Amino acid sequence: MPRIFGLVCLLLVLLLGACKGKPSEEECQASFENFVRLQSMDKPLEMQQMMLDAARFSDSCKMAVVCVKNKFWEWVLCEIKAKRLPDLSDCTGL
């Protein structure tokens, strides 16, 4: 009986780990917003806010769906954590 329980626990852990292979729509949206923020860093504050608002309320929902289908979770997480535009180039190899 303990062996079966251990095997079930192992399978559950493996399945949960495999589920994280693709990002969520929220993670993709955060990645896109960070990209826009990085692109607008050299712009005046008002322009930055306008660009972020546009990213949040535009066709970014469609972009999030494409992101979920085509990107891996590690890649999106890297894009979210990027602090500078050059940091994004490190994310493409994941």
* Other Cβ atoms within 10 Å of 4 Cβ, number: 8
The domain spans of the chain are 21-89
Contact 36, 55 (CB under 8 A): yes
pLDDT of 11 > 60? The answer is no
Query: To the nearest whole number, what is the mean pLDDT of the chain?
Result: 78
Pairwise CA distance, residues 34 & 28, whole Å: 10
Q: What is the pTM of this model?
A: 0.68
pLDDT single digits (tens) 16-51: 444 568 999 899 989 988 998 898 988 898 988 888
